[in-house]
Structure 1
Amino acid sequence: MRGREREWSAVARLFEAAEGGHSAALLLEGQPGMGKSRLLTEAATAARARGFSVTAGTAEELGQLIPLAPLVLAVTDSPDSPDSPDFADGPNPAEGPGRANEPNLARGLDWADGPNLVGEPGRAGGSDLAGGPDRANGPNLSGGPVLGVGQALLAQLRSGLAAMAGRRPLLVTLDDLQWADTTTLMAVRTLHASLAELPVAWLLARTVTDGHHHVDALFDILERHGAPRVRLPPLPAAAVAELAADVLRAPPDPALLALAADADGNPGLLVDLLRGLRDENCLEITPGRARILSAHLPDRLQISVRQRLDLLTPEARQLVETAAVLGRAFRLEETAELLGSSPALLLPALEEAITAGVLAADAETLTFQHEVLWRAVIEGLPPAIRGPLHRQADDMRAAHGTTSDSDVRDMLRRGDLADAAARAEADRSALPPDTSPARIRSELLLAQVVEARDGAGPAMTLLRHFCAEPATCRTLLSAEPTAAPWLVRLALTLGRRALAERVTVLSAELASTTPASAAPASADRASAAPTSADRASGEPASVDRASADQVSRGPESADWASAEPVSAELASADPGRRRFTAAAAHAHGLLCADASALSRAARTAPDAWCRASASEDLGVILARAGERPGALRGLDEALTGYGECGATRDAARVRRRMRRMGVRHRHWSAADHPVSGWDSLTATELRVSHLVAQGWTNRQVAEQMFISVHTVAFHLRQVFRKLEIDSRVSLARLAAEADHRPE
């Protein structure tokens, strides 16, 4: 059992109690997919190996109409059932009037009318399972007798279990008790009490969902009588890697591990994801490695998630599916606004979704419990529904001055490329394949993440349809003007100067012809919430209308210094247009190595990150020209700007540039740290730890963090010393525990 050492220890203690001649019980619970059924199956196998008799039953959702079904089937289907007439054929009503009314255990599930075990008024032999006069206080599962015909059947169940336990210790496993009928739950409580002197080990499991108060009561009662309750937690990172290797018969590469991490340690979702990817030929599996070819969600996982959503009420499912278009993390007020409701009216549905393990709540936001679950929900919506919902959400957020892709931008700026790539891909998949601004921005953001992770070539491949013709390129720049400098840099990196010139000219034309009212919806709030290109790729820009006119005459003809007075006036009067003019200036500065254009962009771009990016490019160009003082000033301004934005990945790149120029900057804080333990790690050590825990090599970590392999090794030694460990496996385990510990 991967990652279930603690739970397996509890099972072992259960066995030891029964082997010592005592009755004992263990209560397992958890969210769907956490591996309860697998644990029960493994326990039954281990118990038989230790000489136990074993009887196993499972409650079914529709089985609630058949009282005692899980227990009857568990006893009659067990190979360890006693060979008595009662269990072989059951009592024969024809043998005499004294036995005519006794139930037949073997055929007890085929009664035409069934015994009255549901407490219907006016029925002979009926029993009130709600607890008589104390119904308002909850169900009465204290161990009282099950009346009428059910009492005789219960006696036979007790006789059969006692016979099995009389020969050797007995393990009774009952799964999915959240679906059990009240009579079965009462019988479990009664049998647990009446067999207390025999070596019977009870292993009971249930999925934690809303509305199953009777099984809640049973577990509470048994816990008060000494039964330990174990809730299955998510698997740690090391166990996820081991389980992935078990399923695929090959160790997963870092990219596949990063995708597997989106299951957030849920074994059921993880197995469905991996097997689905394998069955749909999305993996390349060799004896030494399993490598991912496509990160799309397989049909197998989609079906699994739909089955999970089917367990919700229509109100809860509507809440979940509507909230999905807002992103993995969202606010209840936003969902209520989309639904035309109020947060107070949504509370019952929200509580149900949280109890079912679909959503989780923290102090300020709600979050889908698992990344792949959120992606499956959003991708499962028909395009005809998903598209209008996205447009409604975009309009709502535009009205409130917020953006929907800030999570990906923040991940990219921090350097969390695996998470950023998965989220960007999910965001793009969630949008209809049209030419709406939202879809264009999502494709651009994904390309920027891919460029940071895989290089310029794969990123250009993703955008080839936009770069093929001037019209499509204009569409991209109209939707996201700050894409221009990034596209210029990308094209120059790939030796495609003609494309870089086309982008520069188009950007200048848009800057000179786009009125403020036609600027993208996010333009007027750029300083508070930069767009995807602003933060993701680093392309600031800033030019005034006169400057743009100069660029429109040709990439090489602009005189940026002469346009400064007009620029300042326009910058204060029209921040929306500044995004277009800034992009044009930055693009021209990159194409023509024009320091004056980059200087203008660095001073007047509407967003701090954009200004930092222009300053970095200015420093690089001046360094190439041999102007060391100016270059260092530009890089220093970029370092400060990136630090203010929390762009640690970009700041690390600037530090590397400065180190190559012989300048080193202190980049750690003087905050007090403990001398050992996870909290003693510096920010750099934490970053190294998380990447190594994901399966990255030292060289991959070095390339990602813009430091040398020797520096990575140094930090890793410090981490091992502070955590008192000696292996990467131990580091992965501790990292997973740190991720799941409470704040």
Structure 2
Amino acid sequence: MLHLLDTTRSGPRRGGVALVEGVAGAGRSRLLGDTCAVAAQCGFSVAYADADEVRRAVPLAPLIAALDLRTDVEHPPLDLAATAAGHSAWLIDRLHTSLAERLRRGPVAVVLDDLQWADTTTLAALGTLVARCATQQVAWVLARRAGEAESLPAKLFAALGDAERSERVHLPPLDDRAVAELAADRLSAEPAPELLACVKGADGNPAALVALLDGLVEEQRVRVAEGRARPAGDVQNGPVPRRFGVLVRDRAAALQPGTRLLLDVACVLGHAALPEDIAQILGGTTASVLPALQEALDSRFLVCEGDTIAFRHELVRQALLATLPGPLRGSLHRQAADMIIGRDGGVLPAAAHLVHGARRGDTRAVTVLCSAATAVVATEPRTAAELAQRALEITGPLHPVRANLVRVAVEALTRCGPLPRAIALAEESLGGALPQEQATVLRCELSAALLLAGRAARAVAVAGPPSPGAAGAEGLAERMELGRLHGLADLDAAAAEREARQEMTRRGGPSAGLRCVLARSHWHAGRVGEALRQARAAVASAGEERGVCRPFAPRLALAAMLTHLRETTEATALLDVLRGEIEAEGWPVLCGAAKILGSSLALAQGALAEAATQAAGGLAAADEAGMPRYSPLGWRTLAEVALRRGDLTAADEHVERLTRTVAEQGLDGAAATASRAGAAWMAAQLAAARRDVEGLDAALAAVHADPYALRSLLCEEPAAAAWLVRTAADRGDGERAAETVRAAQRLAADNADVPSLLAAAAHAQGVHQRDADTLRRAVQTHRDPWSRASAAEDLGALCGADRAATVMEFEWAMAKYARLGAARDEARVRRRLRRLGVRRRHWKHADRPASGWASLTDTERRVADLVAQGLTNRQVATQMFLSSHTVGFHLRQIYRKLRLRSRIDLARTHPGVDDGPGRHVTDRPAPPPADAGAPADTASPRGPAPHAPKTPPGPALPAPAHPADTTQPR
């Protein structure tokens, strides 16, 4: 269109026409508005108007409005005004005269929008006026909504398109790149692939895309972490964002009534349906619905997929479905179910409709739902759970299939969660009068659910021998005994091992499940090497058995052990196979556990962003499934990520959630012991970083209160032994330090073939006895990369007299920390090197702009993030192991590059600090004024929290005893 304006302005006897077409929301009005602005800047007299459906009855309304024509002047002679046609001709002449008057002052741009609503007289007048002004400086820009090919506006556009100086402008859907750019603009962050997949429901339509993105933001269904925007929850299957739903419903309301009815039926039938099914529900033939179907296809509500007619996106279908009143929707679902059963007897497709349409007391619907749930319980447990629970809602207490429905529902809920619902349903049914055989089957399912929920004592109490006459009693007895032994392994490892071996003898050999019981028993007893051997044997024999995920997958048990021992290569490969096994055998309840273990592996490998993402996803999945067994490990991972990054505010939040989870999750036995030990260990690390003496003493007391808890911690955390010894020594508590060393050495002696335990014992002993050779052995043998770097740092601290050796060890440790993303540890070692007079550049050259956020260096960005959270210069210096003066220098550079004047300006304009997965960035508290009189260098690990702590911190920690440094304990 710029070419049209240019040729019209430059040629005194030239005009032209631009024909703009696009679907609703494609950006026609925005394009025309920009065109008007450009035309005005180029000296055009701009005449703009848009047609609308209300003024359709007024002849020439758009042209009269655009040219500002007065219609209250003297009418033409009576013989000409005698007919409406004559009056219209007179008005067209007046319009032409008005155009001529404008042309005397310069070129004219006539811009008309929404001509699909224009009256026939306007369309005829446009054809006449464009022809009359073909040799004059008039640029016509005409726009209409794309739609019916045989409409009058379409015919006008076709006729005008054949003119000599005409151009067509079609506004297609935005391509993938443009969608990503628009999403980044609306979200102020780069959209992740999973979010871009969700917004495909907008079909590349700018208006729909903006409505969808803004709706997701308003409803807090988008989270931003590390500069990337990701969906928070299941966007595609969750409720439709209100803004997007309103837009879809408004556009559907503009369609013909028959088309709207067809869409109502289609959205009930599902994402895709056969045309003949839609026609049958509507009570007609396929031919009778063709006009409505064609309009639905033209409007892009529906698309063709093979032999079916499908909605272009599930969000569109859900938005339309929400407009149907409940009773009408239910009636259509029942009609669809009757059609399916009557045609081919398809129980499962019919059941999918009966879930939404069946009424209480509908015996036939209950039977169909029960059959369908039973058929898919092992392959699609979520579907089975939905079907069975719906059937239970509409069936009476004496219905003959009710007991089977309860069993199917409990089994399905045990497989997919939520486990508390499975447990409550089973216990409620067992509290009533049930035949012995049905009660035995239900107790078996309840035992499995309790085990997965971490309630070992209750699971052991529920499990028991089945009645001798029960169908499949032998197989049921084996399942119940296996469940009882798994529960016993958490409560009494020695008894579980003894009884598992007796069961092997009775069965004539070991099974995968019994080997898994032995593995878990050995682990809880501290025999880690033997636990690994039994777990590997269980995995090897599991391929010959079906149902190995009930109630514990051997691969899950082995993967957990390998993860704790930092055998990352084998554990990663095992987790990949486990995910496939979970899907193949229909146990999505275990998905959260697999993700959480994966997050721990990612942390060990230094992939902090991946660790945080997987941990957040695993915690969400575990919470949804009601399976808290691995949740403490997930919160520990998030807290550890925050500590390594130096974000003590986030670490504080994660440790608080960890402590609350351990207190509320209801675990018992070994799982509870391990959870409490892990929570106390993380609380101790955070308290040490905050120099909270009282909190540190309380956390250390909790770690050492139970020898079994201490042993569990040392088995699961390779870095724990040395850290506890170092911290106890710094606190002057030699007894606790010696106790930790003895516990680590006992574990190493009992498991001489487990490298991580040998390395942990050597590290703890080397720190306690200040033995450089032992520390060198720890550096060489640690499986955990972070622990290896920590041992090198401890070794460097012992080489005080040999400056070259100290520098070498510190530099090696600092490089390892850097590769692992442990910014806080890297900064601490860099400070130790500075104290030795060694300065290493810790920034990288990069081509950056001169101003703006992209111009900040990594260090400046970190300073800006912390200041935006409300930290003072001294607090920032403490977290980054810099001096307050250095922080002040960086802050001045930030102000200069961002053209800011104060900390308040920085907090207001900050795009959002990386809060990690699952933490939505909201308004930050107003920062305090800048520090005054801060010392040049402060050895505090962290000042007061930016928000008031729940309990006042204790006195400052005493200086640690490392000879080469005076920084805080690690």
> Contact 2:5–2:139 at 8 Å: present in 1 too?
yes
Tell me the percent identity.
30
Residue 222, structure 1, aligned to residue 184, structure 2:
no
Residue 266, structure 1, aligned to residue 205, structure 2:
yes
> Contact 1:178–1:212 at 8 Å: present in 2 too?
no
User: In the aligned structure 1, how far is the partner of 2:70 from the partner of 2:100?
Assistant: 16
Q: CA deviation at 1:173?
A: 1.7
Q: CA deviation at 1:556?
A: 5.5
1:705-724 aligned within 5 A: none
Distance 1:100 1:435, change over 3 A: same
User: In the aligned structure 1, how far is the partner of 2:458 from the partner of 2:10?
Assistant: 79
In the alignment, what sits opposite 1:72?
A: 64
Deviation sequence 1:64-100 (CA, Å, 0-9, x none) = 3222222222211xxxxxxxxxx4565314xxxx644
1:443-522 aligned within 5 A: 470-471=426-427, 491=453, 497=456
Residue 91, structure 1, aligned to residue 81, structure 2:
no
Structure scoring higher RCO (CA < 8 A, sep ≥ 6) equals 1
Helix, strand or coil for the counterpart of 1:367?
A: strand
> Contact 1:488–1:587 at 8 Å: present in 2 too?
no
> Contact 1:331–1:366 at 8 Å: present in 2 too?
yes
Task: Find 2:22's aligned residue among 15, 24, 30.
Answer: 30
In the alignment, what sits opposite 1:18?
A: 8
Task: Find 1:327's aligned residue among 252, 264, 270.
Answer: 270
> Contact 2:183–2:191 at 8 Å: present in 1 too?
no
User: In the aligned structure 2, how far is the partner of 1:486 from the partner of 1:234?
Assistant: 51
Aligned-partner residue type, residue 170 of structure 2 = R
Deviation sequence 1:175-232 (CA, Å, 0-9, x none) = 1222222222222122222211112222222222347521221122222336333332
In the alignment, what sits opposite 1:203?
A: 141
User: In the aligned structure 1, how far is the partner of 2:50 from the partner of 2:268?
Assistant: 37
Helix, strand or coil for the counterpart of 2:244?
A: helix
1:156-167 aligned within 5 A: 156-167=94-105
Unpaired runs of at least 5, structure 1: 1-10, 77-86, 104-112, 117-147, 407-423, 452-458, 516-542, 566-581, 661-695, 712-727, 729-743
Helix, strand or coil for the counterpart of 1:221?
A: helix
> Contact 2:96–2:129 at 8 Å: present in 1 too?
yes
1:95-494 aligned within 5 A: 99-100=77-78, 115-116=84-85, 148-210=86-148, 213-225=151-163, 227-244=166-183, 250-251=188-189, 254=192, 259-276=198-215, 296-390=239-333, 393=336, 399-400=345-346, 470-471=426-427, 491=453
Distance 1:396 1:548, change over 3 A: farther
Q: CA deviation at 1:328?
A: 3.2
> Contact 2:32–2:111 at 8 Å: present in 1 too?
yes
Task: Find 1:63's aligned residue among 55, 67, 71.
Answer: 55
Helix, strand or coil for the counterpart of 2:322?
A: helix
User: In the aligned structure 1, how far is the partner of 2:180 from the partner of 2:48?
Assistant: 31
Distance 1:434 1:553, change over 3 A: closer
Deviation sequence 1:135-172 (CA, Å, 0-9, x none) = xxxxxxxxxxxxx3222211222222233234322222
> Contact 1:361–1:367 at 8 Å: present in 2 too?
yes
> Contact 2:200–2:313 at 8 Å: present in 1 too?
no
User: In the aligned structure 2, how far is the partner of 1:621 from the partner of 1:289?
Assistant: 30
Distance 1:388 1:232, change over 3 A: same
In the alignment, what sits opposite 2:664?
A: none
Deviation sequence 1:221-277 (CA, Å, 0-9, x none) = 2223363333322224454455456557x4476586665443232222233334445
User: In the aligned structure 2, how far is the partner of 1:405 from the partner of 1:704?
Assistant: 35
Distance 1:618 1:376, change over 3 A: same
Distance 1:624 1:270, change over 3 A: closer
In the alignment, what sits opposite 1:107?
A: none
Distance 1:299 1:617, change over 3 A: closer
In the alignment, what sits opposite 1:106?
A: none
Deviation sequence 1:540-569 (CA, Å, 0-9, x none) = xxx95554565687865998989999xxxx
> Contact 1:34–1:266 at 8 Å: present in 2 too?
yes
Unpaired runs of at least 5, structure 2: 353-381, 396-405, 432-437, 489-498, 524-533, 602-607, 619-817, 821-853, 855-970
Aligned-partner residue type, residue 128 of structure 2 = T
Distance 1:601 1:509, change over 3 A: farther
Task: Kindly name which structure, 1 or 2, has the bigger radius of gyration based on alpha carbons.
Answer: 2
Aligned-partner residue type, residue 115 of structure 2 = L
Aligned-partner residue type, residue 208 of structure 1 = A
User: In the aligned structure 2, how far is the partner of 1:234 from the partner of 1:586?
Assistant: 58
User: In the aligned structure 1, how far is the partner of 2:104 from the partner of 2:64?
Assistant: 19
Q: CA deviation at 1:351?
A: 0.7
> Contact 1:174–1:203 at 8 Å: present in 2 too?
yes
Aligned-partner residue type, residue 47 of structure 2 = T
Helix, strand or coil for the counterpart of 1:350?
A: helix
Q: CA deviation at 1:320?
A: 1.1
In the alignment, what sits opposite 2:646?
A: none
User: In the aligned structure 1, how far is the partner of 2:260 from the partner of 2:46?
Assistant: 39
> Contact 1:561–1:597 at 8 Å: present in 2 too?
no
> Contact 1:590–1:617 at 8 Å: present in 2 too?
no
> Contact 1:547–1:563 at 8 Å: present in 2 too?
no
Distance 1:162 1:290, change over 3 A: farther
User: In the aligned structure 1, how far is the partner of 2:161 from the partner of 2:5?
Assistant: 18
Q: CA deviation at 1:487?
A: 6.7
Q: CA RMSD in A?
A: 6.6
Q: CA deviation at 1:35?
A: 1.6
User: In the aligned structure 2, how far is the partner of 1:390 from the partner of 1:589?
Assistant: 51
In the alignment, what sits opposite 2:948?
A: none
Q: CA deviation at 1:36?
A: 1.4
Helix, strand or coil for the counterpart of 1:151?
A: helix
Residue 53, structure 1, aligned to residue 22, structure 2:
no
In the alignment, what sits opposite 1:42?
A: 34
User: In the aligned structure 2, how far is the partner of 1:448 from the partner of 1:211?
Assistant: 56
Q: CA deviation at 1:352?
A: 1.0
User: In the aligned structure 2, how far is the partner of 1:38 from the partner of 1:586?
Assistant: 69
Alignment: residue pair count: 524
